[in-house]
Structure 1
C-alpha cells in the first residue's frame, strides 16, 4: 500500500472508504469530524474515473491492485461493472490488511450504489464486533446483499451523496459521530472483563425445536460454555456458518437443519448450499440432528407457489399469518437425508448424528390429542434411512425412540457434544 501521512491523533484508527474523485468534499467532512473527535483517520480512495480531491492514505491504484488488476486497466476498459467488482474485491483485501496492521479499529464508508457495494465488501471482510457504519443512498431498500452476515450499520443518506448541503451535511455528521461512538464503545467493552474466556458453542433453533435448544443451552452453560443460538431463518444459518468459519466457535449443536428443506424446495428460509459445511471444514466437534426437515417455510398463504398449493396431496400448516409451513414428502426426505449424510461425511473433525424416531418437530409428533398435522412416519423413515445409507461407516448415528423435544433427546445430544469437546 502507498503510505501518506495519516491524520494522526492519540485515539483510535478509523478507516474511511470513499471514492475521492466524486465524493471528496463529503469524505473530507467525515474525516475532519473523526480527527476532531481525537481519532486517526485512514482514508482509502476507491474512485476509478478521476483523480482524488485530496491525498488519501491508501490510493485507488493500491485498491485496484489488491483486487487483482490495475487502475490503468480499469480506466482503459471503462467497464463500470468490472470496475466495481475489482474495487470491491480490493477493498476487502485492504480492510483486512489494515486491521492486521493495527490501523483499523472501525470502518466508515459513504456512497451511492457503487460506493455502497465497494464499502460494504470491505466491511464484510472484517470480523463481527469491529464497528462498521455505512452512509448510503440505498439503505432504505433491501440491504441484505450489502450486510450479508456481518454487523454493518447502514444509514440512509436521504438525499444523494453529491455535494454538501444542509441535509447531507447532517447525515454525514451523524455517520461520523456514529463510527466514533461505536469505536469508543468497543474500546470500553474490550477494557472490561466480560466472560469472554468461556468457549462459544453455536446452536440452531426454530420455534419447533425451542424446547430442545433451551434445555441444551442450560446444560452447556452449566458446564462453562457460552451458547450462541441462531434462528434457522436463512440468514440465521448463514451467520452461524460465517462465525464458525471465522474461528469463534468451539463446537456446533446443529439440531435444526430445516434450512436445507427450504433450499431443496424453494422456501423463504434458504441458507444456501454451503449450510452444514463450516463446522466440518473447521474440524470442530458437532452434533447434527434433522430438526424441522419436515417443513418448508413460505410467507402468508397467498405466497405459496401454485405447484404446491394446487397439489391435493400437500399438507400445510399456518404457523402464523406471515408464516405458512409445508410438509416435506417421502421423496424429498430421502433427498434431504442424503444431503445431511454427505455434509457429515465431509467433516474433518468429530461428528455424531442423532435421529428422533418419534418426530423431528412439534407438529411431527403424537401427543395426548393424537397425531399432529405433519406426523408422517413414512416420510421420517425415508429421511432416517437415507442418512444411515449414505453416511460414513465411522460416523455414529444414534436412533432415539423419542420426539426431538423430549428431555431424553436433549440429554443424549448434549452429553455427546460435551464428550467430543473434551477431545
Structure 2
C-alpha cells in the first residue's frame, strides 16, 4: 500500500503530527511519521530527524549542528528533499506547520513529480502562496488557528487534511486507455496564431498542453517534463528569457531549458516574443526605462521593445542552454519577425534588433549530430512557420 508521509517538527508539533498520522490510519491509510525538527528530538517518529539529516550531502552534522535557525531549516529542507528522492512507496505527503516548517516541507514537496499528491496545512496558506507552491500541484490548507496544540478547531482542520491525504494515497487516478503522449508548448498573446496552428496539427497524435509564458508557465511546462508527463516540447515562445535578463515581471529562472537538458526529450524551439520585456500598468514601468519604446498592450500590461544589445544577450543565453542538450534538438528562426507586433507597420518592428538576435544565435550555435539550426524566411505567425515547427518535431520524435 502506498503510504502517507506525515512531515513536521516533532520538537514543537509532536501531538499534532501524531494526531494526523493516527487520523490517516483510521481512514484506512498507512502513515509514516517523519521528524524534520532541527533539534534532533524525534519521540514518536517513524523516521527520525537524524536519519533524514543524514541524507544531506555534507551529512547530518551540516543540519543538526547549526545554531542559526534559518540555516538549519534550509539544510533540513535539502536533506528532506534528498530523503524523499530515495522512497518508492509515497502515496501522498502531508505537512503541518508554521512559517519555518512550511518553507522546509514545501521545498521538498516541489521536488516531487506532478501527480503525486502534496498537501500542506499551514498558518501562511491564506496569504501569498506562490513562493511555496511554484509550478507544482501542491495544495495548501489554511490552519485557521496556529498549529500549536490540539483543540476543537485544529482537530477538525488537521483531521480533514489527514483524511484527504489518505484518500489520495488510497485512490490514485489511473491513466486512461485513450491518453495520448503529452506535448508541452509555450504561448503568448503575440504568438497565439502560430501556437494555435501547431496545436491543431499535433492534436491528432498528442495531448497538447499549452502554457502561457508568464514566468511560471515555462516552469510548469518544464516541471511536467521533469515529471515524465510529456513526450516532447515545442517551445515556441521564449519571452521569459528577456524578462529574466532585463528585469520584466514574467521572468524565467536560471534553470530555463534545464528540463530538456536533463531529460533529453525531443525539443523544438524558437524565439517567440523575445522582442519584448513585460511590465504591469504603464505607471509601473521603472523610471530607468522611461525613454524606451513602450507599447501599452492593455491597462494591466505594458511591453518594452528589446534593443539590439539586449537581443545579443538573449541569443547568447538561449544558445548556452541549447548547446548542452544531448537529446534531439531543432531550433527554428523566423527571419521576418518574432511576434505579432514585430512586423512591418507594427510598433516593435526593428530589423536591426532582430538581426542582432539572429547573429548571436548563429555565432553561439555549436553544431552536433543531434542539433540542427533552421532559418526560415517567414514570420513566426505565418502558417508555414507553424507547419515547419510541427514537421521538425515529428521528424525528431519518430527518429
TM, length-normalised to structure 2: 0.93
Deviation of 1:82 after TM superposition, in Å, equals: 2.7
Say whether the 8 Å CA contact 2:91–2:170 is kept in structure 1. Answer: no
| Structure 1: runs of 5 or more not aligned | 1-10
Structure 2 gaps of 5+ residues are none
Distance 2:268 2:38 in 1: 48
Structure 1 position 193, deviation (Å): 2.5
Query: Do structure 1's residue 23 and structure 2's residue 6 form an aligned pair?
Result: no
Cα distance in 2 between the residues matched to 1:399 and 1:36: 62
Q: CA deviation at 1:112?
A: 0.8
* Equivalent runs, 1:104-115 vs 2, <5 Å: 104-115=90-101
Query: Does 1:279 find its partner at 2:260?
Result: yes
Once residues 218 and 254 of structure 1 are traced to their aligned partners in structure 2, the CA distance between those partners, rounded to angstroms, is 16
Return the offset for 1:146.
1.9
CA distance in 2, matches of 1:272, 1:70: 28
The answer to whether the aligner puts 1:358 opposite 2:341 as a matched pair is no
Residues 66 and 333 from structure 1, CA distance in 2 versus in 1: closer, same or farther, beyond 3 angstroms? same
3-state SS of the aligned residue for 1:201?
strand
Give the superposition deviation at 1:81.
2.1
> How many Å separate the matches in 1 of 2:36 and 2:210?
37
Instruction: State the alpha-carbon separation in 1 of the partners of residues 38 and 362 from structure 2.
Output: 55
> Which 4+ stretches in 1 moved above 4 angstroms?
68-77
Is the contact between residue 68 and residue 86 of structure 1 (CA under 8 Å) also seen in structure 2? no
Q: Specify the alignment match of 2:23 in structure 1.
A: 33
CA spacing shift, 1:347–1:169, aligned 2, 3 Å: same
Contact 1:281 1:346 in 2 (8 A): no
Match of 2:145 in 1: 159
One of 168, 171, 186 as aligned partner of 1:204: 186
Q: Does 1:403 align with 2:392?
A: no
Q: Residues of 1 paired with 2:238 and 2:263: CA distance?
A: 18
Taking structure 1 as reference, are residues 113 and 327 closer, same or farther at Cα in structure 2, changes over 3 Å only?
Answer: same
Give the paired residue count: 397
Partner of 1:219: 201
Q: Deviations over 1:221-279 (max 9, x none)?
A: 21x22222221111111222233234333222111010111011101111122212331
Distance in 1 (alpha carbons) for counterparts of 2:15 and 2:27: 19
- Residues 1:384 and 2:358 aligned together: yes
Aligned-pair Cα RMSD in Å: 2.1
1:332 alignment counterpart: 310
Contact 1:133 1:152 in 2 (8 A): yes
TM-score (norm 1): 0.88
8 Å Cα contact 2:91-2:168 kept in structure 1: no
CA distance in structure 2 between the partners assigned to 1:211 and 1:177 by the alignment = 45
Mean Cα deviation higher: 74-83 or 200-209: 74-83
Change (3 A) 1:390 1:70: closer
Name the residue aligned to 1:296: 277
Question: Is 1:121 matched up with 2:107?
Answer: yes
> Conserved in 2, the CA contact under 8 Å of 1:253 and 1:288?
yes
Equivalences for residues 229-378 of structure 1 within 5 A: 229-309=210-290, 311=291, 314-366=292-344, 371-378=345-352
Cα distance, 1:75 vs structure 2: 5.2
Compute the displacement of 1:36 (Å).
1.2
Q: Name the counterpart of 1:8.
A: none
| Aligned counterparts of 1:200 and 1:82: Cα–Cα separation in 2 | 39
